[in-house]
Homo-oligomer: A and B are copies of this chain.
Amino acid sequence: MKIAVDAMGGDYAPDEIVKGVELARDAYSDLEFLLYGQKTKVQPLLQDQTRITLVDAPEVIAMGDEPVRAVRRKKNSSIVLAATAVKEGQADAFFSAGNTGAVLTAGLLIVGRIKGVERPGLTTTLPVLRKLDQSSFVMLDVGANADTKPFSVIQYAVMGQYYAQSVMHVDNPRIGLLNNGTEADKGDQDHRAIHDALAQMPELNFVGNVESRELLNGAADVVVTDGFTGNATLKAIEGTALSMLKLIKGEIMSGGLGGKIGAGLLRPVFHNVKAAMDYSQYGGAVLLGLKAPVVKTHGSTKAPTVKNTIGQIRELLKAQSVQQLGSYFDQHAEQMATIKETLK
């Protein structure tokens, strides 16, 4: 299995990306890498080139670049070259910590969609906080599309199911529709129609509507939503978790308790909590519905997260989830066409 890596994307690129690739190479003997970046910068960072082929990519797509224009114009950028390698079959997956919009655009325009998939869905893994037992759930779309058609949400349910099965190893994942109440008739016309369509798909373990209040309590293994609501919900969870962590830390330290306990004793507590919330350790965000795994991690990604994320990509490849999704949409083309017609 060969993974095309963008060495130039992210706040700590290329150093931490290269380090992370070397960690992954050492951990997984069945992986090879095509590493795309400015040769003069990346070459000196490589300790050992075993199973890593460095490919020169003289151009760089910056964090602030307008995504579609950048992908169209910067043909020799690490993002465009890495995505092209996947398209041409030289690599099996594409990984980047760079400009999110550009990664999504390159995935959509260069790697391309699985036949039958209308829109890819950006999929992220979040922890179930009820107990720190490492259980988690996936949510999609969290922002690949600002304007989502109801039919796409149906396809997200199918994609999410395969992802939960193959990467998270959940047997019969519970699929929930993010809505503004749990009753079947909640939401606007689109959400009621999506609910009813999902309820009629026997191959899905659809548990009905879920509210964003219950997500971290594990209301479902796969939460499907339009990209706009999913993005707002994900960012609200992130922002609130960070704010609460700071607030509680501040209260303990300033209330005199900090002195009593000692900052050193508190550190592991907050470290554990932070780790629980750090969903990037679960493998970054995957753009599902494409002909190969395209995975994007936070811009602030460092080497250990690069390694973990590559481990998740390896799971995706081993499970052949793209091929499985391809067969699914192939075999269910008629059913999908009927549902699409119903949801118009």
Chain A residues close to B by CB (< 8 Å)? 129-130, 132, 143, 146-147, 178, 180, 186-189, 191, 211-217, 225, 227-229, 231-233, 235-241, 243-248, 250-252, 255, 257, 260-261, 265-266, 268-270, 272-273, 276-277
- Do the beta carbons of B236 and A188 come within 8 Å of each other? no
Secondary structure at the A interface, as helix, strand, loop or mixed, is helix
Q: Beyond A188-B146, A213-B235, A243-B217, is A228–B180 a contact (Cβ under 8 Å)?
A: yes
Chain B's nearest CB lies how many Å from the CB of A10? 19
- Do the beta carbons of B247 and A257 come within 8 Å of each other? no
Bound Cα distance from A240 to B244, whole angstroms: 9
Bound Cα distance from A240 to B273, whole angstroms: 13
Q: Beyond A212-B233, A232-B180, is A269–B244 a contact (Cβ under 8 Å)?
A: no
Bound Cα distance from A214 to B240, whole angstroms: 9
Q: Beyond A186-B146, A269-B257, is A215–B236 a contact (Cβ under 8 Å)?
A: yes
- Do the beta carbons of B231 and A233 come within 8 Å of each other? no
Q: A129 contacts which of B146, B231, B243 (Cβ < 8 Å)?
A: B243
- Do the beta carbons of B236 and A212 come within 8 Å of each other? yes
Q: Which 9 A-B pairs have the closest CB atoms?
A: A213-B239, A236-B236, A213-B235, A240-B240, A147-B188, A212-B236, A244-B244, A129-B243, A212-B235
Which residues of B are found within 8 Å of A238, using beta-carbon distances?
213
